[in-house]
């Protein structure tokens, strides 16, 4: 069931000069892109902090599980850090979920930004702590991000107005109107949460779904797995971001039509959100709405509170 509004924890709004902490909860990252991405944040007016140990590597992971979890926990506990942004995705965030100090996160909610593999953290922070977070670009991708991606992130972080996200290529898969808490993220990553203690409850929510490099049959399997597990039974609607490298977009959209042919909730595709460019920033954990006839995604409240 949806969380009681009194348990929702909105982070404090950022202001120019605030310090953003950088974490690497998943895979190692390119150092040149890392420093270029930091420059983008500094141009926005933020100060950046990261521990030198962030560069540790353990195979395909950015250091041991305990190391990556400790950095996250320390960032939330540090009062000088006003927001947290991830270096990159890849794989590894799932491994550290049992090591996250959710009591500290709940006691010190902060602006938290990530996508891709970080989907597991965005959803866990909401389900375990009620914390609002941001699905958006990460440090490595900011290095080569489009102006639209950077402007979207800047606007969400610094502008005090409710967000409207345009649907550039309005593709109506199922028509209708929906309103609910925004959630979701990377389809593959969400599917791997099913059956774990961190499986999200999507009841009463609008799901953003996106992915990269998955063949159509794999997308079919992911959706069917989640459908058979009951993940979609009480959702309000689905909005689709980019499915880069997943075959012809029309075939992907047809898959969603086939899997959800007997469902009444609306499905709207064509949002610039996910692994492609641009990658627009949106909040998870607050109320949103959309009408497939209009095409835009409206957020009905602000994701942050004033200090």
Burial class (CB in 10 A: 0-12, 13-18, 19+), 153: buried
Q: Would you say 109 and 85 are in contact if contact means Cβ atoms under 8 Å apart?
A: no
Q: What is the pLDDT of residue 7?
A: 81
Class of domain 5-158: alpha beta
Q: What is the pLDDT of residue 168?
A: 85
State both tokens at 15.
């202001």
Nearest to 240 by CA among 270, 203, 277, 196: 270
Average pLDDT over residues 153-178: 94
Average pLDDT over residues 220-229: 98
Average pLDDT over residues 109-130: 97
Q: Write out pLDDT tens, residues 76-103.
A: 999 999 999 999 999 999 999 999 999 9
Q: Where do the structural domains in the chain lie, given as residue ranges?
A: 5-158, 164-299
Q: What is the pLDDT of residue 39?
A: 97
Q: Would you say 73 and 82 are in contact if contact means Cβ atoms under 8 Å apart?
A: no
Residue-by-residue DSSP string for 223-244 = HHHHHHTTTTTT--EEEEEEEE
Nearest to 163 by CA among 299, 56, 23, 53: 299
Q: What is the pLDDT of residue 2?
A: 60
How would residue 45 be classed by pLDDT, with cut points 50, 70 and 90? very high
164-299 belongs to which homologous superfamily? LD-carboxypeptidase A C-terminal domain-like (3.50.30.60)
Rounded distance between C-alpha atoms, residue 69 and residue 48, angstroms = 19
Average pLDDT over residues 111-116: 98
Beta-sheet strand order (sheet of 111-114): 47-49, 19-23, 83-86, 111-114, 133-135, 282-284
How would residue 1 be classed by pLDDT, with cut points 50, 70 and 90? low
Active site residues: 116, 210, 275
Q: What is the pLDDT of residue 307?
A: 83
End-to-end CA separation in angstroms for the chain: 30
Average pLDDT over residues 115-125: 98
Helix (H, G, I), strand (E, B) or coil at 27: coil
Residue with the two structure tokens 């602006």: 111
Q: Report CA-CA distances (Å) from 98 to 53, 101, 120, 124, 181.
A: 21, 8, 12, 10, 25
How would residue 18 be classed by pLDDT, with cut points 50, 70 and 90? very high
- Is residue 3 pLDDT above 80, yes or no? no
H or E segment and range at residue 43: helix 31-43
| Counts for the chain of helices (H) and strands (E), in that order | 10, 14
Give the number of other CB atoms < 10 A from CB of residue 169.
10
Average pLDDT over residues 33-58: 97
Q: Write out pLDDT tens, residues 244-300.
A: 999 999 999 999 999 999 999 999 999 999 999 999 999 999 999 999 999 999 999
How would residue 29 be classed by pLDDT, with cut points 50, 70 and 90? very high
């Amino acid at each position: 069931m949806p969380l009681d509004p009194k348990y929702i924890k909105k982070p404090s709004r950022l202001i120019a000069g605030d310090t953003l902490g950088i974490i690497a909860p998943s895979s190692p990252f390119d150092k040149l892109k890392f420093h270029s991405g930091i420059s983008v944040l500094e141009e926005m007016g933020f100060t950046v902090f990261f521990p030198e140990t962030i560069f540790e590597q353990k195979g395909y992971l950015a250091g041991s599980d305990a190391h990556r979890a400790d950095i996250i926990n320390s960032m939330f506990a540090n009062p000088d850090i006003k927001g947290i942004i991830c270096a990159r995705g890849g794989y590894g965030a799932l491994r550290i979920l049992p090591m996250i100090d959710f009591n500290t996160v709940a006691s010190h909610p902060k602006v938290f930004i990530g996508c891709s593999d970080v989907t597991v953290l965005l959803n866990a922070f909401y389900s375990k702590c009620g914390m609002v977070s941001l699905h958006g670009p990460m440090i490595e991708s900011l290095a080569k991000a489009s102006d639209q991606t950077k402007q979207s992130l800047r606007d969400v972080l610094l502008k005090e107005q409710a967000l409207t996200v345009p649907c550039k290529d309005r593709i109506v898969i199922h028509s209708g109107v929906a309103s609910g808490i925004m959630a979701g993220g990377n389809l593959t990553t969400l599917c791997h949460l099913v059956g774990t203690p961190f499986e999200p409850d999507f009841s009463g929510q609008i799901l953003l779904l996106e992915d990269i490099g998955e063949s159509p049959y794999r997308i079919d399997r992911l959706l069917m797995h989640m459908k058979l597990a009951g993940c979609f039974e009480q959702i309000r609607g689905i909005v689709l971001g980019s499915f880069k490298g997943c075959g012809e977009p029309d075939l992907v959209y047809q898959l969603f039509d086939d899997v959800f042919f007997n469902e009444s909730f609306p499905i709207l595709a064509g949002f610039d959100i996910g692994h492609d460019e641009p990658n627009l920033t949106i909040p998870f954990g607050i109320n949103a709405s959309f009408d497939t006839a209009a095409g835009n995604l409206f957020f009905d409240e602000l994701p942050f509170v004033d200090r």
